[in-house]
Structure 1
Amino acid sequence: MKDASYLLLCLQILPEGIRQNLLKHPKRGDLLEVVLDLGRRPEARFLKHRGGEYLRDNEITRDDLQAAEAAVGEFGSDNRAGIEGTLHRISAIRNRKGVIIGLTCRVGRAVTGHVDMVRDLLDCGKSILFLGRPGVGKTTVIREIARVLADDLRKRVVVVDTSNEIGGDGDVPHPAIGGARRMQVPDPSMQHRVMVEAVENHMPQVVIVDEIGTEAEALACRTIAERGVMLVATAHGQTLENIIKNPTLSDLVGGIQTVTLGDDEARARGTQKTVLERKAPPTFSILIEMRERSHWIAHQSDKSVDNLLQGKQPVVEMRTRDENFRVVIEKRLYDKEEHERSDVSSLVMASKSSIKLGSSLFQEENNWVSKIGTLFKFLEIEKVASFLKQATFPTKMLCPRTG
């Protein structure tokens, strides 16, 4: 389907004047969403552009919204609707009486070319959790991952598609998910049941689900992982610390518990007697913070959680693209605030040439990360920099690359 025709399917619910303006707009290829709010001017928002653009001088009327609602059809209990055969999403805002007073028309695109950021991790077969702000591309990424796992790696993949955002609206899933199977969810509150049903009834090797947000869904993830099934999911939050501090979702990274240490142990650790520790193995072995569409931070969940609870900076992988669109992987100290990177972290970045970037942080046998953390605790900065320049790091892989 041509881009213009595909875009028209999303814009067909809009008033005629607005639709024509957008079809002629020079940035229509970057259109992200159109916002229609009662009593306000219609607004278009574009990828890579801050703010929005008004599409006409006249404000949206009730007639505009009623006509759009009639074109969309029935909304689900989550106030979302789709357009059959597409990835577009229409979301409604209602007043206290249940009347629609606003619509967000989001353009869905089957964008490819992101999965190479984590292709080596898919080969390992470990469960992966993606975090990121709305609009950063989480759903787009897991949609492409579904296709790659099903078509390229020949896995049995089931997508649990709660709002039909991954596989599109309608009974036949969008080609963007390849050979992956898709299970729809009657109501968002039933997502956790459908996740477990997928494993019990359809024998998948991989389950993919968008927006893990409740305790029941987190528990369903653990149940699935303990049966040896790989999980790929997204969750609410932007950083690993958001998940650690969220009592509803913290089990995804192992959960947190308070532990009272003996006097000798407390002295040995140099901590108070009461400390926070990880309660169990993480459901997701790998957690990825999507800072931007091509700027990701990859964590080994267990090591990063343990380090953060101890007040240390874990070593992570920063995955970005260079000017030639090639994936670049750099090991560095984690800093949730990119613009406030510490001097120590900068030293690690400056010394990255001494670290063999060809070996992934997720493929090493020895825990050299903890050794570096110990050095940071007891040595001066100059000595740490000297160590990094002279050190060699293990390259033995836990999950050898294929191909």
Structure 2
Amino acid sequence: MGFGYSSSCLDDQHQQQQQHDVVFQDDENDLRSLLQILPHDLHENLLNEPKRARLLEVILDLGRMPEARYHGELGGQYLRRTVVSLKELEHAQNAVGDFGGDNRAGIEGTLHRISAIKSRKGLIVGLTCRVGRAVSGQIDMLYDMLQYEKSILFVGRPGVGKTTVLREIARVLSDEFHKRVVIIDTSNEIGGDGNIPHAAIGGARRMQVTEPSMQHKVMIEAVENHMPEAIIVDEIGTAAEALACRSIAQRGVMLIATAHGQQLENILKNPTLSDLVGGVETVTLGDGEAQARRSQKTILERQAPPTFEFLIEMRQRHYWVTHQTEKSVDILLRGKSPQVEVRRRDKKFKVVIERSKSYDECEP
């Protein structure tokens, strides 16, 4: 497809400054702050665990053995033979504080996220304690694209690193590109919990959202009140949020966002979110036009220009499929396979771009 890049590998000045591998930074203080809410025996076990730098989350479910999950490993690892008690869950809840309307809470000054599972009576019976880290190096995968100042939508399964990428984009746009950046931080996942945002977002400003249902209103408020050149928002999932995205894009503001879905087709088939990629409408052709196109008389076409010029499918943490949204949508609606760019890391963690690859040949 070709987005105008001069090399199949990113060899610009930025990459020369970022030759280190993508790593999870083992911030001892940040990790301790999360472990302190756990039962004491789990705290000590995990702090002495050699794999702690790859710790993804700790699962505490009432009446079940506590479990740790790690990046790069399938399944989990039980942390002890005894089950989690109600008293232990209450201790963790008291250490964290109040949960929001999305049943999420954070730890002030960190990027950690604690999500609650509640019974029908509102009692917390399970906790997912997710480790939040500022991961360096991910920006190399799309640093060149940011220079075009176009809106980008990320899709991918949970845990593939979408929020981590948003955080680093916020830092680079504000500190290196010197743009006015505002983050709409609905669950404080991007900028961390507390009133002072985490240093990982650089000079970007952060607007917190009191209730998840208010996210679309805060998005519009950011544009109207704070004159951003770029807005960053996580987890677009409602029609109101999709409409707010279109309104922001029409005002000439660069928009970087994630949406629920794993691939472009998921967004196209989602009536709530399809507007993000231009929407879909049914069109009836005349006999002559249908014959000229060699198609049926009733076809699907893109309804409007897409809100996001680029869409990136994060298939894996280091394997991305990049679409020029308008072209890919039009070709997919014709039942054909578009040409895409694959951005991946080789065995030496160097970023490689594969141009003009058929979409149906990309790795699952």
The TM-score with structure 2 as length reference comes to: 0.92
What letter matches 1:296 in structure 2? W
1:142 maps onto 2:166 in alignment: yes
What letter matches 2:184 in structure 1? V
Larger radius of gyration, structure 1 or 2? 1
Q: Residue 19 of structure 1: which of 43, 66, 71 is its match?
A: 43
Specify the alignment match of 1:48 in structure 2. 72
Question: Larger relative CO (CA 8 A, sep 6+): 1 or 2?
Answer: 2
Q: Residue 304 of structure 2: which of 273, 277, 280 is its match?
A: 280
Shift of 1:23: 0.7
Conserved? CA contact 2:26–2:53, under 8 Å: no
1:34 maps onto 2:68 in alignment: no
Specify the alignment match of 1:256 in structure 2. 280
Q: Residue 216 of structure 2: which of 162, 174, 192 is its match?
A: 192
Of 19-28 and 145-154, the range deviating more from structure 2: 19-28
Specify the alignment match of 2:359 in structure 1. 334
Distance 1:273 1:205 in 2: 43
Q: What is the SS of the residue equivalent to 2:360?
A: coil
Specify the alignment match of 1:363 in structure 2. none
What letter matches 1:18 in structure 2? L
Specify the alignment match of 2:6 in structure 1. none
Conserved? CA contact 1:239–1:336, under 8 Å: no
1:87 maps onto 2:103 in alignment: no
Distance 2:34 2:109 in 1: 11
- CA deviations on 1:22-52 (whole Å, 9 max, x unpaired) are 1111111100000000111000000011110
Q: Residue 122 of structure 2: which of 94, 98, 103 is its match?
A: 98
Q: What RMSD over aligned residues (CA atoms) do the two structures have, in Å?
A: 1.1
Shift of 1:114: 0.6
Q: What is the SS of the residue equivalent to 2:246?
A: helix
Shift of 1:274: 0.3
- CA deviations on 1:316-342 (whole Å, 9 max, x unpaired) are 000001222211111200028726xxx
Q: What is the SS of the residue equivalent to 2:147?
A: helix
1:242 maps onto 2:266 in alignment: yes
Please state which structure has a larger fraction of its residues in helix: 1
Distance 1:55 1:326 in 2: 36
What letter matches 2:335 in structure 1? G
- CA deviations on 1:91-134 (whole Å, 9 max, x unpaired) are 00000000000000000001110111111110000000000000
Specify the alignment match of 1:294 in structure 2. 318
1:212 maps onto 2:232 in alignment: no
Unaligned runs of 5+ residues in structure 2 are 1-24
Shift of 1:7: 0.6
Distance 1:6 1:189 in 2: 30
Shift of 1:161: 0.3
What letter matches 1:255 in structure 2? G
- CA deviations on 1:282-325 (whole Å, 9 max, x unpaired) are 00000000011110000000000000000110000000012222
The TM-score with structure 1 as length reference comes to: 0.83
Q: What is the SS of the residue equivalent to 1:65?
A: helix
Shift of 1:6: 1.5
Query: Where in structure 1 do 4 or more consecutive aligned residues deviate above 6 Å?
Result: none
Specify the alignment match of 2:13 in structure 1. none
Unaligned runs of 5+ residues in structure 1 are 340-403
Distance 2:271 2:124 in 1: 33
Q: How much identity, in percent, do the aligned residues show?
A: 68
Specify the alignment match of 1:164 in structure 2. 188
Distance 1:178 1:53 in 2: 35
What letter matches 1:53 in structure 2? Q
Structure-to-structure mapping, 1:359-398, within 5 angstroms = none
Conserved? CA contact 1:131–1:237, under 8 Å: yes
Specify the alignment match of 1:152 in structure 2. 176
1:120 maps onto 2:177 in alignment: no
Q: Residue 86 of structure 2: which of 62, 67, 85 is its match?
A: 62
1:4 maps onto 2:62 in alignment: no
